[in-house]
Amino acid sequence: MNAALLLAVGGLTAVGLYLLTGRSLSRIILGYSLLGHATVVALITAGGPAGWPPIAGQAAPEDMSNPLPQALTLTAIVISFGLTLFLLALARRQRTLSGDDLVEDDLEDRRIAAAENAPTGPEDPVAT
Amino acid sequence: MTVLISVAIVAPLLAAACSLAVRSHPPGRDIAVLAGLGSAALASHIMLVTVARDGTHTVAVGGWAPELGIVLVADLFAALILPVALTIIFVVEVFAIGQRRTVWAANPQLSGPLLCVLTSGVSLAFLTGDLFTLFVAFELILVSSYVLLTHQGNRSQVRAGMTYVVMNLLASTLFLFGVAFVYTATGTVNMALLAERIPQLETGVRLGIGAWFLVVFGTKAAIFPLFSWLPDSYPTAPTTITAVFAGLLTKVGIYSMIRFHNLMGMEDLGPIMLLVAALTMVLGVLGALAQSDVKRILSFHVISQIGYMFMGLSLFTVAGTAAAILFLIHHMPVKAVLFLVGGLIENHEGSSSLDRSGGLAGREPLVAVMFAIPALSLAGIPPFSGFVAKLAVISAAVDQGGTVVVVAALLAGGLTLLSMTKIWNEVFWGGRTDGPRPRPAPRRGRRIMHTATALAVAGTLMVSLFAGTLLDLSTEAAEDLRRPASYIAAVRP
Amino acid sequence: MIRLGIRAASPFAAVVGCYLLFAGHNNPGGGFAAGLVFGAVLALRTVAGFHQPTYGVALVAAGVLVVAGVAVMPLLWGGPLFDQQVLSVEAPLLGKVKAGSALPFDIGVAAIVVGTVIAALDGLGASEFAAGPPARSDGGERE
State the average pLDDT over residues B377-385.
85
Measured between alpha carbons, how far is B178 from B198 in angstroms, rounded to an integer? 13
Which residue range forms the structural domain that includes residue A38?
3-53+64-114
CB B13 within 8 A of CB C88: no
Yes or no: say if B136 and B143 are a contact pair by the CB < 8 Å rule: no
**pTM of the predicted model, to two decimals?**
0.87
Q: What are phi and psi of A38, to 5 degrees?
A: -60, -45
Q: Between chains, do C61 and B10 touch, taking CB under 8 Å as contact?
A: no
What pLDDT does C110 receive?
A: 83
- pLDDT category, A67, cuts 50, 70, 90? confident
Q: Output the average pLDDT for chain C.
A: 70
The more confident residue out of B21 and C78 is B21
Residue A21 located in a structural domain = yes
Do the interacting molecules here have an ipTM over 0.85? no
Is the CB of residue C60 less than 8 Å away from at least one CB of chain B? yes
Residue B177 has pLDDT above 70, yes or no: yes
User: Per the CB < 8 Å rule, is A75 touching B136?
Assistant: yes
Q: Which of A43, A94, A123 sits opposite B162 (nearest CB)?
A: A94
With an 8 Å Cβ cutoff, are B290 and A112 in contact?
A: yes
Q: Is the pLDDT of residue C94 over 60?
A: no
Is the residue at A14 inside a domain?
A: yes
The candidate with the shortest Cα–Cα distance to C72, out of B40, B109, B81, B140, is B40
pLDDT category at B328 given cuts 50, 70, 90 is very high
- pLDDT, tens digit, 9 for 90 and up, residues B107-158: 667 788 888 999 999 999 999 988 999 999 999 898 888 888 877 767 777 7
Which is more confident, B457 or C48?
B457
Q: How far is C17 from chain A (nearest CA, A)?
A: 17
The predicted pLDDT at position B311 comes to: 92
DSSP secondary structure of B271-325: HHHHHHHHHHHHHHHHHHHH--BHHHHHHHHHHHHHHHHHHHHHT-SHHHHHHHH
pLDDT of residue A105: 62
CB B400: neighbour CB atoms within 10 A? 17
Mean pLDDT of B440-452: 74
pLDDT number for residue B365: 83
Lowest mean pLDDT among B211-215, B270-274, B350-354: B350-354
Report chain B residues whose CB lies below 8 A from the CB of C64.
13-14, 16-17, 20
Give the whole-number percent of chain C exceeding pLDDT 90.
0
Q: Closest Cα of chain C to A53: distance in Å?
A: 10
DSSP β-bridge partners for residue B72: B59, B128
Decide if C68 and B63 are in contact by the 8 Å CB cutoff.
Answer: no
Residue C90 pairs in a beta bridge with C96
Instruction: Report pLDDT digits (tens) over C20-65.
Output: 877 766 666 777 888 888 888 888 887 777 777 777 778 888 888 8
A16 confidence band (pLDDT: 50, 70, 90): very high
Q: How many residues does chain A have?
A: 128
pLDDT at position B293, please? 83
Where do the structural domains in chain C lie, given as residue ranges? 2-130
Q: Is the pLDDT of residue A7 over 60?
A: yes
CA nearest neighbour of A85 among C117, B141, C109, C48: C117
C residues 94-133 lying closer than 8 A (beta carbon) to B: none
User: Would you say residue A12 lies in a domain?
Assistant: yes
Look at phi and psi of residue A55 and say left if phi exceeds 0, alpha if psi is from -120 to 50, else beta: beta
CB contact (8 A) between residue A55 and residue C27 = yes
Identify the CATH number of the domain in which residue A78 sits: 1.10.287
Counting Cα atoms < 13 Å in the Cβ hemisphere of A67 gives 14
Rounded Cα distance, B66 and B54, in Å: 21
Count Cβ neighbours within 10 Å for each residue of B175-213 and write b for 16 or more, e otherwise.
bbbbbbbbbbbbbbbbbbbbbbbbeebeeeebeebbbbb
Interface test with A, best of C109, C118, C124 (most A CBs within 10 A): C124
Angle at which helices B365-379 and B318-349 pack, to 10 degrees? 160
Mean pLDDT of B246-251: 87
Q: How confident is the model over B471-493, as pLDDT tens digits?
A: 999 999 999 888 888 888 888 76
The residue extents of the domains of chain B are 2-483
Beta bridge partners of B71: B60
Residue B379: the pLDDT is 85
Cβ neighbours for C78, distance < 8 A, ≥ 6 positions apart: none
Of C65, C80, C83, the CB nearest to B17: C65
- If one compares B401 and B434, the residue with the highest pLDDT of the two is B401
pLDDT on residue C128: 54
Question: In the predicted model, what is the mean pLDDT of chain B?
Answer: 85
Neighbours of chain B (3+ CB pairs under 8 A): A, C
Amino acid B175: pLDDT: 93
Confidence of residue C92 (pLDDT cuts 50, 70, 90): low
CB A98 within 8 A of CB B155: yes
Q: Are the C-beta atoms of residues B180 and A42 closer than 8 Å to each other?
A: yes
Give every CB contact of residue B328 below 8 A, 6+ residues apart in sequence: B81, B84, B251, B254, B255, B258, B309
| CB atoms near residue C84 (< 10 Å) | 15
> What is the helix (H) or strand (E) element at residue B73, kind and residue range?
strand B71-74
Which pLDDT belongs to residue C78? Answer: 66
**Cβ-based contacts under 8 A for chains B and C:** 55
Q: Rounded to an integer, what distance in angstroms lies between the CA atom of residue B381 and that of residue B388?
A: 9
Interface-testing mutation among B140, B142, B163, with chain A (most A C-beta atoms within 10 A): B163
Q: Find the Cα–Cα–Cα–Cα dihedral C61, C23, C7, C35, rounded to 10°.
A: 30
Q: State the nearest Cα–Cα gap between C82 and chain B, in angstroms.
A: 5
Q: Inter-chain contact B158–A93, Cβ cutoff 8 Å?
A: yes
A107 located within any domain = yes
**For residue B275, how far is the Cα from the chain centroid?**
22
Residues of B in Cβ contact (< 8 Å) with C65 = 14, 17-18, 21
Most A CBs within 10 Å, among C20, C25, C32, C86, to test the A interface: C32
Q: Using pLDDT thresholds of 50, 70 and 90, give the confidence band for residue A101.
A: low
CA distance A29 to A38: 14
Report the C-alpha gap between B302 and B208 in whole angstroms.
28
How confident is the model at residue B153, as a pLDDT? 67
B126/B79 Cα distance (integer angstroms):
8
Taking residue B453's Cβ as centre, other Cβ atoms within 10 Å add up to 27
The closest of B178, B410, B396 to B282, measured between CA atoms, is B410
Identify the bridge partners of residue C99 per DSSP, sorted by sequence position: C87
| Contact call for residues C70 and C105 (beta carbons, < 8 A) | yes
Are B450 and B374 in contact by the 8 Å Cβ rule? The answer is no
Q: Do C117 and A85 touch (CB under 8 A)?
A: yes
Closest Cβ opposite residue C26 in set A57, A85, A86: A57
Q: How would DSSP label each residue in A87-101?
A: HHHHHHHHHHHHSS-
How many angstroms separate the most distant Cα atoms in chain A? 74
Q: How close does chain B come to C94, measured CA to CA in Å?
A: 30
Work out how many domains chain A is built from and give that number: 1
Model pLDDT for residues B200-243, shown as the tens digit of each residue: 888 899 999 999 999 999 998 888 888 888 887 888 777 788 88
**Type of residue at B381:** I
